Amino acid sequence: MIEYLSSREFLILFVKMIAIFGGVMGALAYTTLVERRIMAFVQMRPGPNRVGPYGLLQPIADGLKFLFKEQTVPGSANVLLYYAAPILSMIPALLSFAVIPFGPELLIADVNVSLLLVFAITSLGVYGIVLGGWASNSKYPLMGAMRSSAQMLSYELSLTLSVVGVLIISNTLSLSELVRSQQGTWLGFLPKWNIFLQPVAFLVYLLSGIAETNRLPFDLAESEQELVAGWHTEYSGMKFAMFFLAEYANMVTVSALATIMFLGGWNGPFMGGPWWLQMVLPTFWFVLKIAGFLFVYMLVRATIPRIRYDQLMYFGWKVLLPLALANILVTSFFVAVL
């Protein structure tokens, strides 16, 4: 049944919402800075280090720049959809944080199908890209948008199927239940994480996750060398920033899901200690694991060249999808036998 909240529960929920939203937005802003610094480090140049100590105020300067930039709309654009597209991209990207458990208590809504809910929300994110590319009414954005919709549709299959193996093992669709099912250790030292049971699924998930978020080496939708900037060529100022933030938010969501499903979520060592440490520690482990994934994303972007479009389609349909299906078959066989 649907229960009504008391005013105290409502207040706690409100504080959680503010904390998660503020935390996520702040983290996203600084992820852009960290990415630029890491890219610069790999390419042996200093990177943005002038604004504030170590360039720490750079995100604020960027934000101000985006706010005060001239708002341009292409003359032949479909104005309604041109303005709606960044919003349609941003809302799903942020909405999925409502069901992601950052800690035992730190989650906004505990839905019993929260894993599928995240997939449902993120699958709506493609409309922002597609409509943005279409509404700009110019060649490169349209090419980027069509590439993006074909790519996201293809890789969403293997992304969703790679998860099925984990679901068969843990027998639940709720993210917080998934985390709880991975508590404890095997033989006293090996953490009970699903990555050790489902290594193939983890690889498939990680690769299709990179493709889903349109990141290098799968960023065919943007691919600067051929399409200028792909689907957001005609966007500038705050509207561009919204697309940009949505991309980073999707990266964080994919990493958070990978952490929850394969790396034990907020589980970690040293869970004892005083009460305030017990409150903070799970969230700390969770954020640390997500940061690890984001670091991998950035290293991959800095080191691996972009693949061709036919290679992208070949890889998605003829390598990742059969692998994911075989993984389901093998997993269900073992679960049925054992």
Q: Which residues bind another protein (CB under 8 A)?
A: 1-2, 4, 111-113, 116-117, 119-121, 123-124, 126-127, 130-131, 133-134, 142, 145-146, 149-150, 152-153, 156, 160, 173
Q: Please, what is the minimum distance in Å from the beta carbon of residue 194 to another protein?
A: 19
CA distance 192 to 211: 28
Q: Please, what is the minimum distance in Å from the beta carbon of residue 35 to another protein?
A: 28
SS3 191: strand
Pick the closer one to another protein by CB: 190 or 336: 336
- Provide DSSP, 17-40: HHHHHHHHHHHHHHHHHHHHHHHH
Q: Please, what is the minimum distance in Å from the beta carbon of residue 152 to another protein?
A: 8
Q: Please, what is the minimum distance in Å from the beta carbon of residue 78 to another protein?
A: 9
Task: Answer whether 136's CB lies under 8 Å from 229's CB.
Answer: no
Q: Please, what is the minimum distance in Å from the beta carbon of residue 141 to another protein?
A: 11
Pick the closer one to another protein by CB: 114 or 327: 114
Pick the closer one to another protein by CB: 49 or 160: 160
**Of 142, 128, 140, the residue nearest 224 (C-alpha):** 140
Pick the closer one to another protein by CB: 121 or 201: 121
Phi then psi for residue 190, to 5 deg, are -85, 115
CA distance 310 to 336: 38
CA distance 17 to 90: 17
Q: Please, what is the minimum distance in Å from the beta carbon of residue 134 to another protein?
A: 5
Q: Please, what is the minimum distance in Å from the beta carbon of residue 153 to another protein?
A: 6
How many C-alpha atoms does 106 have within 13 Å on its Cβ side? 20
Pick the closer one to another protein by CB: 134 or 286: 134
148: Cβ–Cβ under 8 A, 6 or more apart, which residues? 126, 129, 130, 133, 214, 220, 221, 230, 231
Pick the closer one to another protein by CB: 137 or 236: 137
Pick the closer one to another protein by CB: 3 or 70: 3
Tokens of 97: 């944080």
Burial 73-101 (b: 16+ CB within 10 A, else e): bbeebbeebbebbbebbbebbbbbbbbbb
